[in-house]
Amino acid sequence: MPAAESPTFSTTREGELTLDDHEAIAAMLARAFPSYDHWYAGARSWAGMQPELRVVAREGDVVVAHAGLRRQFVTVGDADLLVTAVGMVAVSPTVQGTGLGGELLRRVDAALTTLDSGFGVLETGDDVQGFYRRGGWLPLDGLTAHYTAFSGDGAGVLVTQDHGWLLREGTRTLADWPQGELHWNGQMV
């Protein structure tokens, strides 16, 4: 088999995506998150909050890696805080374990710098924590956060999550993170 071409990365504002882009992203996300493939039907290329910026890697027209980012004001303790939520981080199952995820996180870092909110924030399960730690993300130990999750039919449910939160330092560091519980006051990317 000939060596596969290196994927091409691009970082694109949401308003610049075409319908074909949304379909190609949704198709990859459905394969990477099979338990949640009901979210990624047709051209619906987001799960909760629609991102404002996408980092996408393509081989030809096929999307092989993706991350979504969106700046959001959240409440932490008594403070209003601007953060960038990062989500839908995925590599196509056919090319996982080949270094593409690490490259994706480096592109996410560059996108976080562009968005300039100070912090990147995400939540993930124990099985993937090591991937993000490898990419420089830091645990927000002991943080409890509340957000709205949506079922496939659009019903919103308040969810409380008391572990798995990670922070990417930017112009602000872990030491700047306020004390208290985090309220997303809505959905996350």
Q: Which residues bind ligand COA (CB under 6 A)?
A: 32-33, 89-91, 96-102, 124, 127-128, 130-131, 134
Shortest Å distance, C-beta 111 to ligand COA: 16
Shortest Å distance, C-beta 125 to ligand COA: 7
* Closer of 13 and 134 to ligand COA (Cβ): 134
Shortest Å distance, C-beta 4 to ligand COA: 13
* Closer of 10 and 171 to ligand COA (Cβ): 10
* Closer of 132 and 177 to ligand COA (Cβ): 132
Q: What SS3 string covers the chain?
A: CCCCCCCEEEEEEHHHCCHHHHHHHHHHHHHHCHHHCCCCCCCCCCCCCCCCEEEEEEECCEEEEEEEEEEEEEEECCEEEEEEEEEEEEECHHHCCCCHHHHHHHHHHHHHHHHCCCEEEEECCHHHHHHHHHCCCEECCCCCEEEEEECCCCCEEEEEECCCEEEEECCCCHHHCCCCCEECCCCCC
- Residue, CB closest to ligand COA: 101
